[in-house]
Chains A and B, each alone.
Chain A
Amino acid sequence: MSIGRRDFLKASAIATTATAFAPGINLIELAAARNPEQAATAIHRWGLLIDVNKCVKGCTACVDACFIENGINEKGSPTTDAQWIRKVTTKDKATGHEQIFPVMCQHCEHPPCVDVCPTGASFKRKDGIVLVDKHICIGCRYCMMACPYKARSFVHQTLTGQNHNAPRGKGTVESCTLCVHKIDRGDGITACADACAGENHKAIIFGDLKDPRSEISRQLKAQASSQIRADFNLNTGVRYRGLS
């Protein structure tokens, strides 16, 4: 088969146009992992929705998964061992009604821990994740005094068996990172939410609060939710459904 000059030019033009535009077209939505050099942006605000009514008494899947994922393995000293996430039981003093659910760093929009930190080691990323820079934390624990959620732990002893994803340091303060390493590599879920789904409880939903199409945003829009100590006006990234 022979090809004329006209056809050749036509084919070339189409191919050139296709090559130029193709990178801008995503036929399939790929996992949105950020390039490590690329800074977190305010396009996203990561958060959790915890459905208190779905959380099962006696189940510690979220806590266990968090501890494994982040290498939290101290045992034997309950008052000093780190707890990035814990199951809390509340009991209404008037009615006796009990509720059980996990509490972790609430990833506030206006975090008191960040306000009080003298060195700026406590900081909030643009995508709403509140973290501690382990390199400039001096271990003063002022953030622990300021946190209204008792979300932070101080590393009281020498650590062993650390997870390379979540470096920790003796003498510094730490708390839930919202599995930032998993978010940054595009896993799209935290260890706790993953484990909860694995148990088929689905009490924890992770997602982007700023993306109206995300499941967390749709659920938050559809049904009532609340924040712990909403009166502080901290606009937490972790929301609760069914919290009476």
Chain B
Amino acid sequence: MKAVHYSVIQGKSFGYILLLGIFGAITAFGFGAALYMEHNGHIVTGMNNQIVWGLPHVFAVFLIVAASGALNVASMASVFGRALYKPLARLSGLLAIALLAGGLAVLLLDLGRPDRLIIAMTYYNFKSIFALNIILYSGFFLLVGIYLWMMFERRMNPFTKVAGFFAFIWRLILTTGTGSIFGFLVARQAYDAAIMAPLFIIMSFAFGLAIFLLVLISSYAWTHREIGDAVVERLRKLLGIFVASVLYFVLVYHLTNLYVTEHHGIERFILLDGGIYTEIFWMGQILIGGLIPLLLCLTPLGRSRPMVLLAAVLVILGGLAQVYVIIIGGQAFPLELFPGKGVSSSFFDGQITFYQPSIPEMFLGFSGIGITLLITTFAIKVLPFLPNSLANKDVDPHFTDQSKGDSGPSAEAATA
């Protein structure tokens, strides 16, 4: 493999300024929404005493999960020694930090008292998985920061592997922590399951890689740099495997619940008659976020660049749908205070709760994506994150392009 040359992007074009403007505006709207919510209280949101975590949490959890997943590409280069991924490692680290920053910003700005950040940073209840997550998130910034430094600074290059290893272990613990926020909730029918932690880890692989692919291909297209199929094809197939793994974990989760009579209520709600949640599950999570991307990633159907982009976008949309079903669907189903009894009260006991996200919540949620992309767009202008070329000849001289000529087993065999 040739030496990799990185460079900053020029960032003087109208397109670049426009992009910064758009991401900046999305971010600004989010901050405005947060101020509005803090001033008026959460009564201006769709959240209430039944659905206590709403759309901002869907975006925040999605971004935080994706953050650890985005680091995977770098891990594959540094920890597992796959040379092909090495040129991609810097962008992978950058996206990991940017995604986490976006997710945490949303989470923080949705707090009832965001002004008390200093309390969250200084008062710790170590039995709380939330408190541990605050430490895990801070540590992630630090470790990935060090990891990037090792990659950027030539003198430090020999330590890249060690830094990458620690960042990799840390990200596994971090996603375990995020999944356990739900896994450790004993009283809710939809949660209270150890599988939440590994499910979140595999979700992070898929979401993180989808975002990585999207950013990678777009930035190369917009900066007129070459990116060959050696990279894209590998990532596309990898995405397919991750999407399949997510589907497998979701299947195991629901099969386990279906076996236990106690959980039949919540399963019926999500899978059959939960209205909007059932629709989002089957249409959003399974079809759009699962089966279609699976087809695009693992068959020749998705070989063209637009199809790869489409697959990545679908995985992201499906991922948001999945987190929506987990967080909102899990709360909409009532708590079981009196098993075997029908329950009613002025506090909506026993009722399936209606939730309609409000405009400020949407602004706040989307601002997480805005912050992530703003950081990324800015960072690739000031530091050399992107290799000058990811053309086939530069990343893998032995790569044979299977899409040329007839696709099919015989053609592949001939070119191999």
Contact = CB atoms under 8 A, between A and B. Distances in A.
B119 A119 contact: yes
A116 interface: yes
Contacts of B349: 86, 88, 103, 150
Contact of A153 (B49, B111, B337, B353): B49
Contacts of B53: 141, 145
B352 to A, nearest CB: 13
Contacts of A201: none
Interface in B304-346: 331, 335-338, 340-346
A220 interface: no
A229 B345 contact: no
B184 A80 contact: no
Given A79-B348, A93-B340, A171-B38, A118 B124 contact: yes
B120 A118 contact: yes
A65 to B, nearest CB: 16
A90 to B, nearest CB: 4
Interface in B93-130: 111-114, 116-117, 119-120, 123-125, 127-130
Given A88-B343, A150-B335, A156-B42, A112 B186 contact: yes
Contacts of B343: 88-91
A120 B120 CA distance: 10
Contacts of A170: 41, 112
A138 B111 contact: yes
A91 B337 CA distance: 12
Given A141-B112, A156-B42, A118 B344 contact: no
A136 B123 contact: yes
B120 to A, nearest CB: 5
A93 B338 CA distance: 11
B298 interface: no
B131 interface: yes
Nearest to B343: A90
A148 B335 contact: yes
Contacts of A141: 52-53, 112
A93 B113 contact: no
B332 to A, nearest CB: 12
Nearest to A228: B337
Contacts of A78: 346, 348
A94 B349 CA distance: 19
B134 interface: yes
Interface residues of A, number: 55
Contact of A79 (B41, B50, B112, B130): B50
A173 B112 CA distance: 9
Contacts of B186: 112, 146, 148, 232
A117 B124 CA distance: 9
Nearest to A94: B340
B123 A80 contact: no
Interface in B334-377: 335-338, 340-349, 353
B355 to A, nearest CB: 9
Nearest to A148: B187
A146 B347 contact: no
A140 B134 CA distance: 13
A153 B48 CA distance: 9
A158 B42 CA distance: 10
B142 interface: no
B112 A155 contact: yes
A156 B338 contact: no
Given A103-B337, A117-B125, A88 B120 contact: no
B361 to A, nearest CB: 13
A118 B125 contact: yes
A156 B338 CA distance: 28
Contacts of A86: 345-347, 349
B341 A92 contact: yes
Interface in A145-164: 145-150, 152-158
28 contacts: A80-B42, A80-B48, A86-B347, A90-B338, A90-B341, A91-B342, A91-B343, A103-B337, A103-B349, A115-B128, A116-B129, A118-B124, A118-B128, A119-B123, A119-B125, A120-B123, A136-B123, A139-B116, A141-B52, A144-B52, A145-B53, A146-B187, A150-B349, A152-B49, A153-B49, A154-B42, A155-B112, A171-B41
Interface of B: 38, 40-43, 48-50, 52-53, 111-114, 116-117, 119-120, 123-125, 127-131, 134, 181, 184-188, 331, 335-338, 340-349, 353
